[in-house]
């Protein structure tokens, strides 16, 4: 690829701009295009798709094409695409997250939401997460996976899939599997304690995670040593549910008529 046609790549995360995962990712992506890093100035994991609408955002330039934003991952991508970057990037790459983003977790994930925000604004992207990182160097294989998938996504811009959730197992992956999202089995519990002033307080999300172990799930892939790639889509409509509720429109009309004539409850 010549310099004039180099892709512009926006890199974001939810662990904060100083996290080791984003450093490894930005380094690995240098070979694929011009990398811009716009990321939260601190840890913002599990903020989901939150946007900051009630206070101003600042973007501190920490180096060439490198900005720390006092906001959420989605803020960063929104700001980058709609104002901060001088050009529109061809792709948004989020990560490498410290820890998995499997199954239902994608709805909480700031990493996935960063890529989702890009997709909402018409830019394809991928979210990359590393299972059980053990130190800064452990992110390098995952960053290389991200670079390879970035190259594929940039090359295949006319394909349907524009938003990929990628989870990388620890160590050297055995290969890549295309997967669907697994389901978390809710064994999670709330831990209740008492503070020194006698008030109750709670910790949520502390139970051991249990998963539906379907062969074609993201969970199964990473736990047999494969990179899991799950295409996601923005349309949350439950189509079987929509068909299942078809008679509700008529049912609702019938109920309203019934209420009009009958005695009030």
Binding positions for Mn ion, rule: CB under 5 A? 14-15, 45, 97
Q: Which is nearer to Mn ion, 48 or 214 (CB)?
A: 48
Nearer to Mn ion, 19 or 227 (CB): 19
- Angle subtended by helix axes 20-29 and 140-155, to nearest 10: 40
Cβ closest to Mn ion, residue 33 vs residue 95: 95
Least distance in Å: CB of 113 to Mn ion? 11
- β-sheet bridge partners, residue 264: none
| Cα–Cα distance measured from residue 75 to residue 53, given in angstroms and rounded to the nearest whole number | 9
User: Which residue, among 65, 66, 1, 63, has the nearest Cα to 32 in the 3D structure?
Assistant: 1
Q: Which residues contact 179 (CB under 8 A, 6 or more apart)?
A: 216, 217, 218, 220, 221, 228, 229, 230
Secondary structure letter of residue 85 according to DSSP: S
Closest residue to Mn ion using C-beta atoms: 45
Name every residue whose Cβ is closer than 8 Å to that of residue 222 and which is 6 or more positions away in sequence.
Answer: 100, 102, 131, 167, 168, 169, 228
CB of 140 to Mn ion, least distance (A): 18
- Burial zone of 123 (CB within 10 Å; 0-12 exposed, 13-18 middle, 19+ buried): buried
For the CB of residue 15, give the shortest distance to Mn ion in the complex, in Å.
4
Q: How far apart are CB 109 and Mn ion at their closest, in Å? A: 7
Residue 35 tokens, joined: 């990398």
Give 7 or 77: the residue with its C-beta nearer to Mn ion. 77
Q: Based on CB atoms, which residue is closest to Mn ion, 7 or 142?
A: 142
Min dist. Cβ of residue 10 to Mn ion (A): 17
């Amino acid at each position: 690829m010549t310099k004039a046609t180099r892709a512009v790549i926006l890199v974001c995360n939810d662990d904060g701009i100083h996290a080791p995962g984003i450093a490894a990712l930005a380094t690995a992506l240098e070979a694929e295009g011009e990398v811009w890093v716009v990321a939260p100035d601190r840890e913002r994991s599990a903020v989901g798709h939150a946007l900051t609408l009630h206070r101003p955002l600042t973007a501190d330039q920490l180096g060439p094409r490198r900005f720390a934003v006092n906001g959420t991952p989605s803020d960063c991508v929104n700001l980058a695409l709609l104002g901060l970057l001088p050009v529109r990037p061809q792709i948004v790459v989020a990560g490498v997250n410290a820890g998995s983003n499997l199954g239902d977790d994608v709805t909480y994930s700031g990493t996935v939401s960063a890529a989702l925000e890009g997709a909402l604004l018409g830019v394809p992207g991928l979210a990359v997460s590393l299972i059980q990182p053990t130190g800064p160097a452990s992110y390098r294989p995952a960053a290389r996976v991200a670079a390879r998938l970035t190259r594929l996504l940039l090359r295949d811009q006319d394909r349907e899939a524009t938003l990929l959730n990628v989870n990388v197992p620890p160590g050297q992956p055995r290969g890549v599997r295309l997967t669907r999202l697994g389901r978390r089995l809710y064994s999670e519990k709330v831990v209740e304690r008492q503070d020194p002033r006698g008030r109750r307080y709670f910790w949520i999300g502390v139970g051991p995670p249990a998963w539906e172990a379907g062969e074609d799930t993201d969970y199964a892939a990473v736990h047999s040593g494969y990179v899991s790639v799950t295409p996601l889509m923005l349309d949350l409509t439950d189509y079987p549910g929509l068909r299942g509720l078809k008679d509700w429109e008529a049912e609702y009309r019938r109920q309203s008529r019934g209420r009009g004539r009958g005695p009030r409850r």
